[in-house]
Amino acid sequence: MLSMKFAAIPLLFVIACLGGCGNDDGGTLRPSATYTIGGQLSGLGSGASVTLRNNGADDLTLTANGNFTFGVAIADGSTYDVTVLASPAGHGCTVTHGAGTVQSANVSDVAVSCTLTPRGIFSPAASLSTARAGHSATRVADGKVLVVGGYGAAAVSAELYDPGTNSWSPAANLITPRGYHSATLLDNGLVLVAGGGNDGIGGFYTTSAELYDPGNNTWSPAGNMISSHGAHPATLLQNGKVLVMGGQGGGAGFAEIYDPVTNAWSQAGTPAAARVGHTATLLAGGMVLVAGGWYGGPLVSAELYDPHTNSWSPAGNLTLAHYDHTASLLSTGKVLVAGGWYNASATANAELYDPGTNAWAPATNMATGLVLHSATVLADGRVLMVGGLAEIYDVDAGTWSMTGIPLVGRMYHTTTLLADTKVLVVGGDGGGVVQESAELYW
């Protein structure tokens, strides 16, 4: 009888538990907890977008860098797997910490990093309305590119390229026809165009300057320079003023400053050497490095302009005399000088100026000699050279690589970095023919 009583106890316990043993909510089963999956996006270029996917189904399109969270939460203990479904044009995107198991907390450490990776493609852009060489090209505030003047019939005209429609439209004619001038985007959004050959051929250089207003499509006088300059560099200073130094004409050994506030010019100290075919580069500290060029022979010297003291000082000697070369400010703060003429031939030589030591050192040479080419610092910091061929300088590796083949080999052309990270190549002299053609590098 005793055994029967003990045997009944488990049965009674089971029956009791059917009424809710161990369940606080009256027998209703609780849903499993869910948690979100997210992280941070970095490196996405302006105007670009990237689409991510979690677990093969939950898609999320991002158009800006920063934090992100997928829309579908997943159950505790479930796995997640974040991948890149669609990378933006010109980018390569990678995911780290993208897979794992949810452990009773939201996931917020997925990292998506995008890097601009130009693919080395040159493709046609719409043609100019007028063939141009020795012109200028300036990207203005709305993203369009203002192309001005040039020699010959193009000297008086200007036009605007719209990257959104891949089309050109007329801009107002200049007050003074010119080629081999400078063009500088000012802090107020106006474009200062100065000097150049006012017969459009380059045999006679002018002191005149004028301002283009993109909002009103108009030109207005910007005073006269003290000396005439042609085929010269112009550098926007950190104080908003513009330095013009050297070049063809009477101002080879003269430097002057344009002040947008007074709309007037004044002398900028006295450079140590007269120069033509040189470069002028704004350094991170606000000084301007003027390097190389020609005056009675190729110049190996360089000098620095200090806007605070309105004075010049030596900046060492290049390892090789360059003229009609390019100079590019790198992300490291150093300046890359590449190509140009040397002993009447196009040189592949490249070298680096270090502002910290005020000295020059050899860089790896380009694969081929380039002269009267262009240099464009890309959004990822690399430097694109375009001339008869095209090469890329990798700042981190210190190496050059060939990149695509321009549709037309050019001199006296322009290259302009667009907001979408493509590069617009315009006009120039190609095979002895002044070009109407334009192309895009991406």
- In percent, the amount of the chain with pLDDT more than 90 equals 83
pLDDT band at 152 (very low <50, low <70, confident <90, very high): confident
* CA pair distance 390, 368, nearest whole angstrom: 9
Backbone torsions φ then ψ of 375, nearest 5 degrees: -130, 130
Average pLDDT, the chain: 91
Count of other CB atoms within 10 angstroms of residue 231: 23
List, for residues 68-87, the tens digit of each pLDDT value: 999 999 999 999 999 999 88
Query: Quick one: pLDDT band at residue 35, thresholds 50, 70, 90?
Result: very high
d(CA 380, CA 272): 36
Question: Considering only CA atoms, which of 201, 51, 178, 34 is closest in space to residue 112?
Answer: 51
d(CA 92, CA 96): 14
Query: 386-422 pLDDT, tens per residue?
Result: 999 999 999 999 999 999 999 999 999 999 999 988 9
Residue whose tokens read 């000699």: 369
Can you tell me the mean pLDDT for 207-226? Answer: 98
Among residues 185, 142, 145, which one has the least CA distance to residue 167? Answer: 145
What confidence score (pLDDT) does residue 2 get? 38
Round the CA-based radius of gyration of the chain to a whole number and report it: 31
Question: 108-120, pLDDT tens digit by residue?
Answer: 999 999 986 656 8
3-state class (DSSP) for residue 152: helix
Q: What is the pTM of this model?
A: 0.77
* Per-residue confidence (pLDDT) for residue 19, from 0 to 100: 44
The two tokens of residue 138 are: 């300036």
Band (pLDDT 50/70/90 cuts) for residue 29 is low
Does residue 140 or residue 10 have the better pLDDT? Answer: 140
- Lowest model confidence (mean pLDDT) among 85-94, 104-113, 288-297: 85-94
The domains located in the chain, with CATH, are: 34-116 (2.60.40)
In order, the DSSP letters of 316-349 are EE-SS--BS-EEEE-TTS-EEEE--EETTEE---
Cα separation, 412 vs 432, in Å, equals 11
